[in-house]
């Protein structure tokens, strides 16, 4: 008789598995590498975002002893966002560990942990690409679900219009640096008290190819390639025009129906500021387990349970993420 060793050892309880899946390496995510949307755990499944529009106006000079100009405060707006729930189920069948008889030995425990970690790593990879997709949606201002339906349109939520700059790269007479200045100035004007260090633009392959082939950019790009060849690296990254660093982005994943979906559409790009204080964030809500109620949310959770008649182990993993841009006015869509 093969017992269920996963249930008999504390190494496979909810706390241990949750710790393990959060320690496993994250193999995908350019936005994670940029650390653009740092993680923050929250205690509830919904969050309230309060917006306070500060009123800035010029102050007149007045004679000494005069009463001061009455200060005017902005109006507050409150919005509620429900954090998406993303569960994944897996199963470990007895034949994966049926050769282990001496349960309790160190070597067997290491093998059991390896089996569990293989399943956890597979789940983590799926969560990683899903989180990258959600973060790219927040970066574009429209957060999409796996089936391309809209979870949140941040422009609608915050009552502003999406800014689009047409680079018109098919037109040789277009001044590309001037288009870049238009993007940067729009972002600067919409920081509204925020700060930034520079502007980053993630663009599709088609946009990048059209950009570097444009007459006003060719010479600049050749100089960039020469410098990269000396220092080493990929010339498709960190190509600067003015204060914008362009980077080719090729993120893609299949939806539940098996259809590949590109994270950035053909001929498009998306610009955003770097070095902000709190314009971007990824909120994580707690899992829907009794033991996690009112706790601070973690990025990932994992839990296992014996199947009926001891016919294996059901493994449940979940994440409850909401990547968000609190100032969608600083996001700019670029077309070629």
**What CATH number has the domain bearing residue 174?**
3.90.1690.10
| Residue 42 is assigned to a structural domain of this protein | yes
Residue 112 has pLDDT above 80, yes or no: no
296: nearest Cα among 38, 41, 84: 41
| Residue 121 is assigned to a structural domain of this protein | yes
| Residue 250 is assigned to a structural domain of this protein | yes
Residue 5 has pLDDT above 80, yes or no: no
| Residue 3 is assigned to a structural domain of this protein | no
| Residue 163 is assigned to a structural domain of this protein | yes
| Residue 96 is assigned to a structural domain of this protein | yes
| Residue 59 is assigned to a structural domain of this protein | no
Residue 66 has pLDDT above 90, yes or no: no
Q: Residue 165: what are its φ and ψ, rounded to 5°?
A: -115, 120
Judge contact between 268 and 207, C-beta under 8 A. yes
By residue range, what is the domain housing residue 265?
Answer: 10-50+76-335
How many structural domains compose the chain? 1
Axis crossing angle, helix 218-231 with helix 205-213, rounded to the nearest 10 = 110
Residue 64 has pLDDT above 60, yes or no: yes
Name which residue leads in pLDDT, 73 or 228.
228
| Residue 65 is assigned to a structural domain of this protein | no
Find the helix or strand (DSSP H, E) in which 246 lies: strand 244-248
Mean pLDDT of 98-123: 72
Predicted confidence (pLDDT) per residue in 137-163, tens digit: 999 999 999 999 999 999 999 889 999
Q: Where are the alpha helices (DSSP H) in the chain?
A: 14-23, 30-34, 106-140, 154-158, 176-189, 205-213, 218-231
Predicted confidence (pLDDT) per residue in 202-224, tens digit: 999 999 999 999 999 999 999 99
**Spatial distance between the Cα atoms of 292 and 319, rounded to a whole number of angstroms:** 13
């Amino acid at each position: 008789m093969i017992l269920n060793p996963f249930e008999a050892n504390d190494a496979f309880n909810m706390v241990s598995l949750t710790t393990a899946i959060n320690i496993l390496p994250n193999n995908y995510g350019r936005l994670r590498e940029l650390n653009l949307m740092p993680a923050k755990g929250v205690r509830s499944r919904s969050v309230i975002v309060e917006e306070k529009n500060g009123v800035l106006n010029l102050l007149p000079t007045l004679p000494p002893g005069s009463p001061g100009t009455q200060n005017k405060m902005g109006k507050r707006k409150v919005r509620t966002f429900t954090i998406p729930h993303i569960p994944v189920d897996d199963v470990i069948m007895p034949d994966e560990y049926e050769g282990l008889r001496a349960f309790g030995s160190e070597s067997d425990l290491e093998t059991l942990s390896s089996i569990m970690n293989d399943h956890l790593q597979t789940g983590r990879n799926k969560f990683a690409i899903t989180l990258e997709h959600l973060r790219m949606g927040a970066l574009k201002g429209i957060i999409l679900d796996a089936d391309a339906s809209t979870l949140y349109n941040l422009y609608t939520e915050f009552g502003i219009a999406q800014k689009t700059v047409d680079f018109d790269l098919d037109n040789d007479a277009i001044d590309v640096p001037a288009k870049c200045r238009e993007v940067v100035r729009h972002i600067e004007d919409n920081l509204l008290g925020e700060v930034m260090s520079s502007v980053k633009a993630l663009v599709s392959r088609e946009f990048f190819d059209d950009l570097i082939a444009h007459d006003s950019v060719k010479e600049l790009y050749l100089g960039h390639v020469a410098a990269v060849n000396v220092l080493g690296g990929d010339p498709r990254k960190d190509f600067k025009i003015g204060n914008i660093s362009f980077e080719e982005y090729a993120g893609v994943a299949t939806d539940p129906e098996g259809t590949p979906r590109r994270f950035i559409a053909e001929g498009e790009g998306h610009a955003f500021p770097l070095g902000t204080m709190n314009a971007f964030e990824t909120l994580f809500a707690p899992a829907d387990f009794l033991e996690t109620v009112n706790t601070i949310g973690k990025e990932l959770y994992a839990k296992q349970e014996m199947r009926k008649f001891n016919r294996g182990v059901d493994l449940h993993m979940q994440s409850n993420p909401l990547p968000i841009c609190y100032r969608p006015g600083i996001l700019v869509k670029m077309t070629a």
